[in-house]
A and B are shown apart, each in its own frame.
Chain A
Amino acid sequence: MTQDSPQVRSTGDGFPVLDIDGLGVRLPDGQAARPILDGVSLRVQPGETVGLVGESGSGKSVACRSVLGLLPAGARTSGTVRVAGRDVLTMNRTELAALRARQVAMVFQDPRAAVNPLRRVGDFVTEGLRASGMPAAAATTRAEALLDAVGIRDPRGALRRFPHQFSGGMLQRVVIAAALASEPALLVADEPTTALDVTTQAEIIAILTRLRAEQGTGLLFVTHDLELASAICDRVYVMYAGRIVETRGTDELFDRPRHPYTSGLLACTPRIEPGAPTPRPIPGRPVSLAEAPPGCAFAARCAHAQPRCSEETPVLARYGDGLTACHRADEGITL
Chain B
Amino acid sequence: MTRYLVGRLLGLATVLFVTSLVVFGTVHLAPGDPVSFLLHGRPATPEATAALRAQYHLDDPLPLQYTKWLGGVLHGDFGRSAQFHQDVGSLIGSRLPGTALLVGYAALLVAVLGVGAGLLAALRPGPVDRAVLLGTGVATATPSFVSAMALVSLFSVQLGWFPGPGGTPEGFPDRLYHLTLPAFALALTFAGLLARVTRSAMLDELGRDHVEVARARGVARRAVVRRHVLRNALGPVVTVGGTMLAGLLISTSIVETAFDVSGIGSLLVQSVTAKDFAVVQAITLLSVAAFVVVNLAVDLLAPVIDPRLSLRGEGSS
Contacts and interface: CB of A to CB of B under 8 A. Distances in A.
On whether A and B touch (CB less than 8 Å), the answer reads yes
B209 A108 contact: yes
A113 B216 contact: no
Interface in A53-107: 65, 68, 70, 93, 96-102, 105-106
Contacts of A96: 218
B217 A115 contact: no
Interface residues on B, range: 20 to 34
Interface string A156-186: 0000001010000000000000100000000
A99 to B, nearest CB: 7
B217 A127 contact: yes
Interface stretch (A116-124, A250-258, A285-293): A116-124
A259 to B, nearest CB: 31
B218 A132 contact: yes
Contact of B220 (A68, A97, A106): A97
Interface string B187-225: 000000000000000000000111011111111110100
A102 B219 CA distance: 11
A131 to B, nearest CB: 5
B51 interface: no
A99 B231 contact: no
Contacts of B216: 65, 68, 70, 100, 106
Contacts of B8: none
Interface in B102-146: none
B217 A110 contact: no
A149 interface: no
A131 B232 contact: no
B219 A162 contact: no
A51 interface: no
B3 interface: no
A114 interface: yes
A35 interface: no
B213 A164 contact: no
B215 A100 contact: yes
A101 B220 CA distance: 10
Given A70-B212, A108-B209, A131 B228 contact: no
Contacts of B305: 118
B236 to A, nearest CB: 13
Given A113-B209, A114-B209, A99 B307 contact: no
Given A131-B223, A162-B307, A164-B311, A116 B217 contact: no
Contact of A70 (B215, B220, B231): B215
B218 A118 contact: no
Given A99-B218, A106-B216, A131-B223, A114 B210 contact: yes
Nearest to B312: A164
Nearest to A178: B217
Contacts of B213: 106, 108, 114-115
A102 B218 contact: yes
A178 B218 CA distance: 12
Contact of B232 (A68, A102, A116, A178): A116
Contacts of A260: none
A177 B73 CA distance: 61
B60 interface: no
A131 B218 CA distance: 7
A277 B306 CA distance: 52
Could you say which of A65, A93, A127, A162 has the most chain B C-beta atoms within 10 Å of its C-beta? A127
B214 A127 contact: yes
Contacts of A192: none
Contacts of B218: 96-102, 128, 131-132
A5 to B, nearest CB: 19
B217 A100 contact: yes
A164 B307 contact: yes
Contact of B217 (A105, A118, A162): A105
Contact of B308 (A99, A131, A164): A164
Nearest to B213: A114
B227 interface: yes
Contacts of B308: 117-118, 162, 164
Contacts of B217: 100-101, 105-106, 127-128, 131, 178
B290 to A, nearest CB: 30
A128 B215 CA distance: 10
A164 B311 CA distance: 9
Contacts of B306: 117-118
A128 B219 contact: yes
A68 B219 CA distance: 12
Contacts of A98: 218
A299 B267 CA distance: 81
A119 B228 CA distance: 8
Could you say which of B209, B218, B307 has the most chain A C-beta atoms within 10 Å of its C-beta? B218
A55 B220 CA distance: 33
A115 B208 CA distance: 10
Nearest to B221: A93
A108 B215 CA distance: 13
Interface in B285-317: 305-308, 311
A1 B221 CA distance: 28
Interface string A240-264: 0000000000000000000000000
Contacts of A68: 216
Contacts of A127: 214, 217, 219, 227
Contacts of A102: 218
Interface in A111-143: 113-119, 127-128, 131-132
Nearest to A114: B213
A128 B231 CA distance: 18
A114 B209 CA distance: 5
Interface of A: 65, 68, 70, 93, 96-102, 105-106, 108, 110, 113-119, 127-128, 131-132, 162, 164, 178
Interface of B: 208-210, 212-221, 223, 227-228, 231-232, 305-308, 311
Given A68-B216, A128-B219, 5 more contacts: A113-B210, A114-B213, A117-B232, A118-B305, A127-B214
